[in-house]
Structures are given as structure tokens and as C-alpha cells.
Structure 1
Amino acid sequence: MDTCCKTRWLDASVKNTNGYLAQTSLLHPFKDIGLASRHHTMTDLWQNAMDHAVALARKAGSLVRDAVQNDMKVMLKSSSVDLVTKTDQKVEQLIIDSVKEKFPTHSFIGEESVAAGEPCVLTDNPTWIVDPVDGTTNFVHGYPFVAVSIGFAVNRKLEFGVVYSCIEDKMYTARKGQGAFCNGQLLNVSDQKEISQSIIATEFGSNRDTEVVDKIFSSMRKILCLPIHGIRGVGTAATNMCLVASGCVEAYYEIGIHCWDIAAGAIIVTEAGGVLMDVDGGPLDLMSRRVVAANNKIIAERIVKEIDAFTPLRDDASTETED
């Protein structure tokens, strides 16, 4: 059975820590599995929302997998490398319609909605933060790392996150204070404290401004030459963050991502024991478009020290987007 990096498979004969019967079926790896939260009680106000998010992610992932098999119409957003497909739009509309029907008072921030001119504002209201197809460029080229990312915040604090890596068939979930899981396996970050023994994930992004690209390469060069074991990246921020949570890589950093790219992954990282911060070493600001996610503070601060930081336009300051 496939595993999600360094995880523990929970015994299918007993209820797992999420309060659901663990299900090890290869044909139905997500049915009745511990994909929501531990200690499921009547007092958990957001459990229904999380259950709904898991179901939506699975349904959206099915649409994505079907689309991979067919020709797709590719459109441009901000540049020739900033792509959007009908599948992105179809999946986001599916999620919006379903959320509005079931939770009519909730707010919504979505990549394609913002690209179409909707405001990107995080308030105290329960808010769904969604990237319908994280890794659109991968999707267009058939590169097998594409994710549906659903984060949920209340009072501007993340309550849960769901990331479904569609092609891999891996469902990552986390609930505040109750652990992170992949296909029912409890996730734990790596215990590595030596940067020289670490793998670091990052991405180039879609901004091809020469000054920005130079800073990205400069940061990568300095980090690579610390030295470290290597630099990796799968082309989707959500999946990169889940790899940190799984213990496969020690850290992920990027400048130029968006709140919908990292909202779900952020809580998955922290619930797996990891840390989050801004590239300047301060606390993570979802709207800043800058993130460092790491297995521990030692690794995070070492990365921060080497990054040539720059400040993109904040998500809540503009409706323009980049993949």
C-alpha cells in the first residue's frame, strides 16, 4: 500500500484518532476513513463544514482526473505562463455553488473568482479559501502533481485544511488542535535539525521579471550551497506543504504565492508539528504572498537568513493573480 512519506498507518480494526473507522481498502481509500478531526462531538461547530470539504475535494478531484484524459482549452491570465483552464473554473464553481447552498452565510475566496474581479478580503466571517486546481501548469502538461486545496478560516484563523492530490489519490486533512492525516495515516514532520541533512522545496513561480527571477535564483543558490541535500519542487504549493507535513522534505519556501495556494497546507503543516513564518522571520500573514513552512524553527530561521526577500503586491490589495 502506498504511504504518505514518513507516516504511521492506523489499525483498521479500531477507531482511529479522528473518531472514524480506519479503512484500508485500495479501491475506496477514503470511505469512512479518518479524514476529518479527532474527538468528533456535537460541540464541534465546524465538523460538518470539514466533512463537506472532504467530499467536495474528492468530487472535484474526480473532475480533474477526467479532464486530464481529454483535450482542454487553455487560457491566459496575467501572462503567457499564467494559465487557467475550463476545469479550474468548473471546479471552483462546483465548490462555490455547494458551499453557498449548504452554508449560505459563509464567505468565499477563490483563485478564479479573484481573477474575475471578486474582492480578496479575509474577514472574521467563516471563510472558505479555495484553489480549485493548484498546479494548473502541471495539469496542462500532464505532469502528475495537481491538487484541490480547501482552507477554512474563522475570525481570520485557520480551522481546517483539505488538500486532495488528485493524480496520486492522496487526501491530506487537518483540524485545528487535532492532528494532520493523509489517507488515514497520522502525519509527522521530519525531526531533522541539521540544514545540511535537509531537502528544501521551492518553486520559480510565474513572474518572469528579471529582477524577481534574479532574487529567486540568488536565494536558491545560497540555500543550496549551505550546503543542503537538495532542492525539490512539484509545481504546487499545497502539495509542497503537505510534503513538509509528511516528513518528506524539511521545508518549503516561496515568494509570490497566494492565500488560496497555502491556506489549507498551512494548517496541515502546523498540525503535523511544523512551523510557519514570513520570509522576514515574522509570523505568517496569509495575504502577504510569502511563506516559509518547516519542520522546526531551527530550519525555518536558517532558510530565512539566506532568502533575498522581496514584497509582492498583497492579495488583499489587488485582484490581479499569478499561478
Structure 2
Amino acid sequence: MEDPWQRAYDFAVEVARKAGAEIRNAGDSEIRVMTKSSTVDLVTKTDERVEKIIIGSLIEEFGEGTHCFIGEESVAKGEPCILTDKPTWIIDPVDGTTNFVHGFPFVAVSIAFAVNKQLEFGVVYSCLEDKMYKARKGKGAFCNNEQIQVSDVKDIHKSIIISEHGTDRSPEKVTKIFSTMQKILCIPVHGLRGSGTAATNMCLVATGAVEAFFEIGIHCWDIAAGAVIVQEAGGILLDVDGGPFDLMSRRMISANNDTIAKRIIKEIEIFPVARDDTPAETQ
């Protein structure tokens, strides 16, 4: 029986590489910084242009109206963020915009594909490193065509944990974020890290470079592709309260195994965030 999504998977890799080249070649004129939800939630002309290139390429390849799209910049402009049963592309054109603006060398293109609300594949192109991460459900995870696997560390004291502080600067949330980080450091663990891009952080879990990544306040487009890559590399995904992973919940821990994940979960101070699929007018 013919694989219905192999063509889409192969094309996603091609489009991600094309988008990454656009990011690398962006001139200074495109790094004019604008803001979205706050003064630290940045967007550039490159974010918007690259998303248009990705979506335009997919429509040209697969036809108008055959697939749905959830794109970070489209949602920021008011498009709905609803995951249906229809074939759906979930796109972050420039994951790590703040890094891009400042020249910090971790910027990724993240493209995922879901059918019947289930993620089928994910592609993350860390374009400044020229590392192409990809995974299909049931077929393993790869970086530059070499198969990758999570680490086998089970001792929390020998782990590196990765997280981010997000773009919400409300004092009560910042206090909880840094309190959580302090408690994890004092377990103790070998270290805490952060690349500035959720997609890259998840790929670092998948390669075994770190044992876990967690964050509250992320969006579905930040983590959809990475979710497939982590799972296909042998890792797990959970809600930060230990329950099942929910792509639209804006909170997640990905880890190499259940032992590490549950030990980190004990230290996480949870705060409320609106779901991605909650209409803006009700938030």
C-alpha cells in the first residue's frame, strides 16, 4: 500500500531547507524589529516573509484548499488556531526570533504535519548550524540523515535540563519560573541550559545532549515538529503536571525517560496560561 504522506514529508524537508536559506541570507533591512504580545515578543519582516514562502510553496505543491495551516505569524494577525481532523501544517518560520535579531546562533525553521489531530511527522532545520532534524511516526528520528536517540541517563544528578523563561514578564510568573529553575539546580543536576528556541531544545533532547526540556507558555508551532522528533528518538512527552501531553495546552515536558521527567515535574511551579485553541476574545 502506498504511503500517503511520504511525499509531504520529503517536501517539508525541502521547504525547510529553502526557508533556512532565506533566513541566513536576510539582510539588515529585514531585521527591523516589531513586537506582538509584548515589548519582548519580537517579530521581523523575515518571520513574515518566510512563513509566506513556506505556506505558498505547500499550496503550490498540494493545491489550494487541500490542507489547513497553523502558522505563528498568521495566528498573530488574527487567523484561528484550531486543530481539526483535516491534514494540517503547523509552522514556526523563525523559531528563535530574538536570537535572530541579536545574532545569537540558534534559529530554527519548524514544520509539522498532523492528520486527524495526530502528528505524522516533524522537521526542524537549525539553519545557522545547518542541522536538519526530521522524524516520521514509527520510522525513527534523524539529524543530517544519521539516526539519533535520547540519552540513557536515569540518575537526575547526572542530567542536564533545558528550559526557557518565555516572553511574559509579569513578576508573579517570572518568580515562579526562576523558583522552579532554582529548585531543579539544587536537586542538584549537572546544569541548566537554554538555546532560545523550543524546537532546538527538543532536538537536543532527541540527540541525547540534554535529558529534558520543559516550558510553560510555549505554543503549538514551537513544539509540534519537535514532539515527533523526541518520541521517534525514544523520548517521552508529558504535561507539566504529569498528565498526558496536549499539543494545544501551551505547557510540556519532553524527556529521555519517565524517571527523569517525573523527578523534574516534582519541582515545577505551574501557572495558568490560555490554551492555543481558546479564542482570543475569551482569553
Q: Which residue of 1 aligns with 2:206?
A: 245
Q: Output the amino acid matched with 1:295.
A: N
Encode CA deviations 1:30-82: one digit per residue, 9 max, x unaligned.
xxxxxxxxxxxx62110010111001000000000011666621111111101
State the match for 1:61 in structure 2: 20
Is contact 2:30–2:46 with CA below 8 Å preserved after alignment?
A: no
Question: Counterpart of 1:170?
Answer: 131
After superposition, residues 295-314 of structure 1 pair within 5 angstroms as: 295-314=256-275
Shift in CA distance, 192/78, structure 1 to aligned 2, threshold 3 Å: same
Matched, 1:268 2:206: no
Secondary structure, counterpart of 2:188 in structure 1 = coil
Tell me the residue number matched to 1:134.
95
SS of structure 1 residue aligned to 2:142: strand
Match of 1:232 in 2: 193
Question: Does the 8 Å contact 1:68/1:139 carry over to 2?
Answer: no
Q: Which residue, out of 42, 51, 60, partners 1:92?
A: 51
Moved over 6 A (4+): none
Which secondary structure state, in structure 1, belongs to the residue aligned with residue 123 of structure 2?
strand
What do residues 179-238 of structure 1 show as CA deviations (whole Å, max 9, x unaligned)? 000001100000000000000000010000011101101110111110000000100000
What does 1:1-323 correspond to in 2, within 5 Å?
A: 43-67=2-26, 72-103=31-62, 104=64, 105-319=66-280
Give, in whole Å, the separation in 2 of the partners of 1:287 and 1:251: 20
Indicate if the aligned counterparts of 2:203 and 2:229 stay in contact, CA closer than 8 A: yes
Task: Write the distance in 2 (CA, Å) between the matches of 1:139 and 1:293.
Answer: 24
Larger RCO (CA under 8 A, 6+ residues apart): 1
Distance 2:130 2:263 in 1: 33
Partner SS, residue 98 of structure 1 = helix
Relative to 1, partners in 2 of residues 1:284 and 1:68: Cα closer, same or farther, differing over 3 Å? Answer: farther
TM-score (normalised: structure 2): 0.96
On the 8 A contact 1:120/1:319 being kept in 2, the answer is: no
- TM (normalized to structure 1)? 0.85
C-alpha root-mean-square deviation of aligned residues, in Å? Answer: 1.2
Does the residue aligned with 1:260 lie in a helix, a strand or coil?
helix
Gapped regions of structure 2 (runs ≥ 5): none
Structure 2 Cα separation of the partners of residues 290 and 68 of structure 1: 34
Matched residues in 2 for 1:300 and 1:43: separation? 37
Please tell me whether the aligned partners of residues 30 and 45 of structure 2 are also in contact (alpha carbons under 8 angstroms): no
Give deviations 1:86-125, integer Å, cap 9, x for gaps: 0000000011111122223111000000000000000010
